[in-house]
Amino acid sequence: MRNITVHRNSARAGVFLPGQPGRQSINGHLVSLYFILMKNLSGKVATERIGEFLAKRPKLEWLEPPMPNGQKTVLDVLTATHQAEHEIKIREWAEDVWRSWHSKHGQTIEKLVNETF
């Protein structure tokens, strides 16, 4: 059975792969990682909060991706040999992505959350 929190974290980390997704996607996933990693909310609660966040139609700006975009990749996750290790590696990937974006845009993300909630 798939662990939905692990799946959500992998989806949130994976959205930051190279490319240029829309502002809503990047901001939404960053705010979601903020709720999970900084506020220790569950994936389910974070998803509910993102719905509330987007419903308020916050003013979103393009956030230039950090370079590098973290040190971990999906390839690190693929080395897991069992479910518990997979969950740990997904969390590490999400934390790594968060650190790289937060170091560049932390004040912007926190300001956006504080102004919206």
- What predicted TM-score, i.e. pTM, was given to this entire model? 0.77
Which pLDDT value is given to residue 96? 93
Of 5-19, 29-43, 86-100, least confident by mean pLDDT is 5-19
Which pLDDT value is given to residue 1? 42
Task: Over range 65-80, report the average pLDDT.
Answer: 89
| Contact call for residues 8 and 45 (beta carbons, < 8 A) | no
Joined together, the tokens standing for residue 65 give 């991706």
- CA–CA distance, 66 with 46 (Å, rounded to integer): 23
Structural domain boundaries of the chain?
A: 4-116
Cis before 65? omega within 30: no
